[in-house]
């Protein structure tokens, strides 16, 4: 049977690369079942503790390397791994197994590690499964250490060669150690664009494709690969013509990047005079400067989960206030929309004990956690009010499915404002409270939610997931996860019309707004505020400045009549093809 010429996965870090493959197999060692004498038990426990210290030391060095090569927020990935490696409950269970069953340290650790891996892999949470790579890396290091093997023996990158690394799963520890001059691309069978390895690859500028099922069955070390980190396509043994085409694409992209630099300080206005407010999504502090430098007119989505994840304690009210003030100061008088904690499943801090759930995305998360844990929510509300004194700050509530959730949140905000005033603390009297529309339930009752809301913002990621019943982190279902499905397009029209009827501003802050075709669709549907990832601002602005609103409106009308996602995409491509180079905005 002949091998396929092309494979397709999820493009997680843009760029085109070609080089021989280097297949890296980071497998768990074969741990023998070994018992020890009662007198050896204390020594086995000391061996376990010593291994933890060595692994934590190695992770600390990797964090420092990430800080130097990628930035401060990327280095926090290893802070989270260190917390996992030092997890007191897990290590106590391993020690107990050593004592009770007189097992060797590696045997006991491997037994408990298997239990934890099964728990992670069986989770309904996409993000928790993405963290499985982190867990694998920690446990692999521990087992190799306990069995007397050195870290550098686990894998080897040939010096002086350029390769594309292919693995079943890429851990951040491997990714951050790769030399960008010699490793020009990454491929893994597991992982999505939210995995830590994907985040690091993007920060390091390494083109990467993940979720490429069957890669290890089809690719051998030495196989020449052509990788497109935007479309997710991987060509095996490309022809001379395909390689030449790739070189042309790289050259064309470099020239296009120069064009994008020219629009940074220009307004986001269509050729026929329709002005779009183009804001930035800020997930991590290092994205603040990027959003400002790319000309973002404020922040349409300020995520607050980074204040929580990877920490052993909850952030203080003062800490939150200072961060919100910092962001508002960076954007002058432009609005900053703070999303209240979107905690749930995998995003609980170490100090916040939450019950295990079979399906966290349908469980205790977001506004539900905030209302059920008022001490956590009230501290954030006070921080928002304090930061909003003299600043243009707004509050957005995620995963709202009931009107009473908005009513109760506003009541609590008013109570905290009164308490701050009574205490003589400088704070705003109130802030505008909006709703993140990201469930079909919120779409259906949007007219009712509008009565209690100052604005709407559409989260297309979860709206797509909940509407299509597709786990957005499942690589096998990646082709089915698309906001271009007619059911999503029709809901987007409903939301915009409902907001307009109530006189509310309506924006889109999901990943759809960062996609050029998605931005054109939203423009055609009547949206006038988009909030996008900072790196996407120049491209989206360039598209807006080149596509007339009338053309976008006509394309959106044809998209609304389409019967499937392919039809929606075709309608949009046809509608704007005469105004922009489709090769730059929408790979076929």
Active-site residue list: 196, 509
SS3 94: helix
CB count within 10 Å of CB 58 equals 17
- Given a contact cutoff of 8 angstroms between Cβ atoms, the answer to whether 427 and 420 are in contact is yes
How many Cα neighbours within 13 Å face the side chain of 358? Answer: 0
Sort 378 into a burial class: Cβ within 10 Å, 0-12 / 13-18 / 19+.
middle
DSSP for 132-152, written as a single string: HHHHHHHHHHHHHHHTT--GG
- Given a contact cutoff of 8 angstroms between Cβ atoms, the answer to whether 279 and 296 are in contact is yes
- Determine the distance from the C-alpha atom of residue 541 to the mean position of all C-alpha atoms in its chain, rounded to a whole number: 22
Residue 457's beta-bridge partner residues? 436, 507
CA torsion, ordered 146, 150, 154, 160, to nearest 10 deg: 170
Strand 16-24 to 224-228 pairing: antiparallel
Distance CA(264)–CA(534), nearest Å, equals 11
Report in angstroms the alpha-carbon separations of 525 from 474, 553, 569. 29, 6, 15
Q: What are the two backbone dihedrals, phi and then psi, of residue 22, each rounded to the nearest 5 degrees?
A: -125, 105
- Given a contact cutoff of 8 angstroms between Cβ atoms, the answer to whether 168 and 189 are in contact is yes
- Given a contact cutoff of 8 angstroms between Cβ atoms, the answer to whether 78 and 66 are in contact is yes
Sort 373 into a burial class: Cβ within 10 Å, 0-12 / 13-18 / 19+.
middle
For residues 142-155, one letter each, b for 16 or more C-beta atoms within 10 angstroms of the residue's C-beta and e for the rest, the string is bbbbbbeeeeeebe
Q: What are the two backbone dihedrals, phi and then psi, of residue 508, each rounded to the nearest 5 degrees?
A: -125, 125
Would you say how long the chain is, in residues? 588
**What residues contact residue 52 under an 8 Å CB cut-off, 6+ apart?**
85, 86, 91, 142
**What residues contact residue 82 under an 8 Å CB cut-off, 6+ apart?**
56, 59, 60, 63
CA torsion, ordered 138, 139, 140, 142, to nearest 10 deg: 90
DSSP for 354-416, written as a single string: ----S-GGGSSBTHHHHHH-HHHHHHHHHHHHHHTTTS-EEEEE-S---HHHHHHHHHHHHHH
* SS3 readout for 16-65: EEEEEEEEECCCCCCCCCCECCHHHHHHHHHHHHHHHHHHHHHHHHHHHH
Strand 183-188 to 6-8 pairing: unpaired
């Amino acid at each position: 049977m002949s091998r396929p010429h092309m494979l397709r996965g999820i493009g997680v870090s843009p760029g085109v690369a070609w080089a021989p493959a280097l297949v890296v197999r980071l497998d768990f060692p074969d741990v023998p079942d070994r018992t020890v004498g009662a007198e050896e038990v204390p020594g086995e426990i000391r061996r376990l503790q010593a291994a933890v210290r060595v692994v934590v030391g190695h992770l600390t060095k990797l964090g420092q390397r990430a800080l130097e090569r990628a930035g401060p927020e990327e280095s926090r990935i290893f802070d989270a791994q260190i917390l996992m490696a030092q997890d007191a409950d897990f290590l106590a269970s391993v020690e107990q197994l050593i004592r009770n069953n007189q097992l060797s340290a590696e045997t006991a650790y491997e037994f408990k590690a298997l239990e934890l891996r099964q728990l992670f892999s069986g989770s309904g949470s996409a993000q928790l499964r993405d963290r499985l790579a982190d867990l694998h890396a920690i446990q692999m290091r521990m087992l190799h250490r306990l069995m007397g093997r050195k870290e550098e023996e686990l894998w080897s990158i040939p010096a002086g060669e350029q390769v594309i690394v292919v693995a079943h799963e890429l851990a951040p520890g491997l990714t951050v150690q790769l030399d960008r001059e010699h490793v020009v691309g990454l491929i893994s069978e597991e992982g999505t664009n939210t995995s830590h390895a994907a985040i690091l690859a993007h920060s390091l500028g390494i083109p990467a494709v993940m979720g490429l099922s069957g890669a290890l069955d089809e690719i051998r070390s030495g196989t020449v690969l052509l990788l497109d980190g935007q479309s997710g396509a991987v060509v095996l043994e490309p022809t001379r013509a395909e390689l030449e085409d790739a070189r042309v694409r790289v050259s064309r992209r470099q020239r296009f990047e120069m064009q994008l630099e020219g629009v940074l300080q220009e307004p986001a206005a269509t050729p026929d005079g329709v002005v779009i407010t183009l804001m930035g999504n800020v997930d991590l502090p290092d994205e603040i400067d990027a959003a400002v430098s790319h000309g973002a007119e404020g922040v349409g989505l300020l995520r607050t989960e980074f204040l929580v994840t990877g920490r052993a304690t909850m952030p203080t009210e003062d800490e939150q206030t200072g961060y919100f003030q910092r962001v508002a100061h960076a954007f002058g008088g432009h609005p900053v929309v703070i999303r209240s904690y979107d905690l749930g499943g995998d995003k609980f801090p170490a100090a916040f004990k939450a019950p295990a759930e079979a399906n966290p995305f349908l469980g205790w998360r977001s506004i539900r956690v905030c209302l059920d844990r008022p001490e956590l929510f009230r501290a954030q509300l006070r921080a928002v009010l304090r930061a909003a004194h003299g600043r243009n700050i707004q509050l957005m509530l995620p995963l709202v499915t009931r009107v009473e959730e908005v009513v109760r949140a506003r009541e609590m905000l008013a109570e905290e404002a009164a308490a701050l005033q009574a205490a003589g603390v400088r704070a705003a009297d109130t802030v505008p409270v909006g709703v993140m529309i990201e469930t079909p339930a919120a779409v259906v009752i949007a007219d009712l939610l509008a009565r209690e809301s100052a604005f709407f913002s559409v989260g297309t990621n979860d709206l797509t997931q909940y509407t299509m019943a597709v786990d957005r982190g499942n690589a096998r279902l990646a082709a089915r996860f698309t906001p271009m499905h007619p059911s999503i397009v029709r809901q987007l029209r409903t939301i915009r019309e409902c907001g307009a009827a109530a006189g509310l501003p309506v924006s889109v802050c999901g990943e759809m707004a960062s996609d050029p075709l998605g931005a054109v669709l939203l423009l055609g549907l009547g949206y006038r505020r988009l909030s996008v990832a900072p790196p996407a601002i120049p491209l989206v602005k360039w598209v807006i400045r080149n596509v007339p609103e009338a053309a976008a409106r006509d394309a959106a009308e044809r998209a609304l009549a389409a019967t499937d996602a392919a039809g929606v995409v075709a309608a949009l491509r046809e509608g704007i093809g005469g105004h922009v180079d489709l090769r730059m905005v929408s790979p076929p």
